[in-house]
Structure 1
Amino acid sequence: METKLGKDEIKKVQQEIGWSYGIVVPSTARGGGLAILWKSDLAVTLRVQNKWYIDVLIDSRRSDIPWVCIGDFNEVLSVTEKEGGVGRACRQIENFRECLKDTGLRDLRYTGSWFTWAGERRGYGCIWERIDRALGTIEWRNKFLQARLFHIANLASDHCVLLLRLDQCARQADKRVKLFHFEAMWLKHEQCEEVVKEAWETGLQSGRVNPIESCLEGCRIALTKWYSQVFGHVGKKLKQVQRKLQTLETHAIGLANKDQISETRRELNKLYAMEEDMWFQRARSNWAKSGDKNTRYFHEKASSRKKKNTILGLMDESNQWQEDLELIKGIAINYYKKLFSSANTII
């Protein structure tokens, strides 16, 4: 990103954010300038430094570190991201796409205008482009599920201001009512069928006019209780069994605990199959088959669905953007009241 700052000004920024290490290419006549800053717990080796880019090697000893890159990439991802002027070469766009694919970076969702840069060019008139964006790896997007990028109009520059908020929907998440969902992975447990049968029989004997409703309600209550007290959280169980297996294999002496290790491995495989079913169901990837071992893919699809189904805000009747949960509820209720009401009907 072009800093337009000198070394002394970058040092002030470092002091404010508490990142004491960095490499700076100072600006020239208030133009250009680059900087890469980091905390003291990173090992960073400089490879190449010039006025166009800074190339460094980061030794993290981990391949799953969450990454997010935000700023002016000076490139578009499709022809629809530019209007006016000379069209972008298809090969140029494809190279940018390949770069993101190789690094595992994906575009983050945003709120605001489609284009992030606008400028006048002699002979071409006004040109609009979407060249500023935020990109994140799967690890980063799964860690910050509620993250949202905002494109904010800016009179001081021809670029939009990019504001990345990490806690967009965390404000009142605890107030949401959690709906009941039957989990496909429960079918792999030997007690599931018996729990359903017992609840269904109880419902049939309830004496209600509509026994099916009673049966379904009884199954919901019984399965919820069974999940909480018996089945348990698959993710937590996986970690526990993984640690158990690690301990057994670390302290293995001859054939003394061979049977215990084999039993633990079978238990771990069963839990992996349950986890795969869980994420497969949440991803709703109907074209895939259970057993494909695509848990990482299913997790990403499920996380994407959760983001897509989240309402961050709504425009009220005065064309004002509202993010307060109670105001959002009121806007939605009023909209559908008007939609389904007539002159003689009040909902």
Structure 2
Amino acid sequence: MRIKIGYEGCFAVNRDGRSGGIGVFWRRSSTCQMLTFSNNHVDMEVVNNDANRWRLTGFYGYPERHRRRESWRLLQTIAAASNLPWCVIGDFNDLLHTEDKRGLVDHPEWLFRGFRDTINECALQELKLQGYPFTWFRCRGKPNAIEERLDRAFGNSEWMTLFPEAQLLNLIASISDHSPILLKTAPPEIVHRTRRFWFENKWLREP
């Protein structure tokens, strides 16, 4: 896949059975350095063109409710490992607020509270999701449909200062029950070019 999409570097953690699996790809081999990894995360140091160093973590939270505390402890461990500006993005399999869920089955309050407490202890701020508010669905279009916002991105205050114009976009997926989310550290540059006008004599033949 790395060769197919034209990237220079990659690191992958194999899936466990039929679930999980994390892959990280980057364009220039000198921009990323692997720090730690597990079946649930990949943590790496990133160097920008302007020599700014920061940390990016791809995270996958345990989907089983009885293992959510393991996810929270892992996030706390990663947070304490470095003082670099830090961004963590991925499928957390957790919800922060009641509005993060649409469906008939209520979400337990202890899960809301545990995830919120973890985010606060890690000193993280959530990036606002632009677009459709939910990133995962089950039985869409049916009376028992459920939609949730499981995929998120957070940054600590140092990372937010480094990338004050960062955006998180919810994209469209046609074959997955998850929507891909796109993190942009800066808005796209708009280049205005002055073009020289050339007149073609053959245009005179056209009515």
Same fold per superposition (TM over 0.5): yes
- Secondary structure of 2:182's aligned partner: strand
Q: 2:153 maps to which residue?
A: 134
1:27–1:120 CA distance, 2 compared to 1 (3 A): same
How far does residue 142 in structure 1 lie from its aligned partner after superposition?
Answer: 0.8
How far does residue 61 in structure 1 lie from its aligned partner after superposition?
Answer: 8.6
- Among 167, 170, 182, the alignment partner of 1:151 is 170
Q: Is the 8 A contact 1:146 1:169 kept in 2?
A: no
TM-score with structure 1 setting the length: 0.37
1:169–1:13 CA distance, 2 compared to 1 (3 A): closer
Alignment of 1:175-254 (within 5 A): none
Q: 2:9 maps to which residue?
A: 18
Higher strand fraction: Structure 1 or Structure 2? 2
Q: 1:34 maps to which residue?
A: 22
Question: Aligned partners of 2:101, 2:16: CA distance in 1, in Å?
Answer: 28
Q: Is the 8 A contact 2:165 2:185 kept in 1?
A: yes
Report which of the two structures shows the higher radius of gyration computed on alpha carbons. Answer: 1
Question: Aligned partners of 1:98, 1:146: CA distance in 2, in Å?
Answer: 26
Alignment of 1:268-283 (within 5 A): none
How far does residue 17 in structure 1 lie from its aligned partner after superposition?
Answer: 4.1
Structure 2 residue ranges without an equivalent (≥5): 41-59, 63-69, 192-207
Q: Is the 8 A contact 2:98 2:107 kept in 1?
A: yes
- Secondary structure of 2:145's aligned partner: strand
Q: 2:115 maps to which residue?
A: 96
Question: Aligned partners of 2:4, 2:123: CA distance in 1, in Å?
Answer: 29
Q: Deviations over 1:145-168 (max 9, x none)?
A: 111111122212122221112221
Larger RCO of the pair (alpha carbons < 8 Å, separation 6+): 2
RMSD: 4.0
TM-score with structure 2 setting the length: 0.59
> Number of paired residues?
157
Higher helix fraction: Structure 1 or Structure 2? 1
1:127 maps to a residue whose letter is I
Structure 1 residue ranges without an equivalent (≥5): 1-8, 173-347
2:186 maps to a residue whose letter is D
Q: Is the 8 A contact 1:25 1:33 kept in 2?
A: yes
Question: Aligned partners of 1:13, 1:66: CA distance in 2, in Å?
Answer: 31
Q: Deviations over 1:102-156 (max 9, x none)?
A: 11211102320111222129x9711111111111111111111111111122212
Q: Is the 8 A contact 1:110 1:149 kept in 2?
A: yes
Q: Is the 8 A contact 2:89 2:153 kept in 1?
A: yes
Q: Is the 8 A contact 2:123 2:156 kept in 1?
A: yes
Question: Aligned partners of 1:61, 1:93: CA distance in 2, in Å?
Answer: 25
- Secondary structure of 1:125's aligned partner: coil
1:130 maps to a residue whose letter is R
- Secondary structure of 1:16's aligned partner: coil
1:27–1:115 CA distance, 2 compared to 1 (3 A): same
Question: Aligned partners of 1:132, 1:49: CA distance in 2, in Å?
Answer: 17
Q: Is the 8 A contact 1:151 1:160 kept in 2?
A: yes
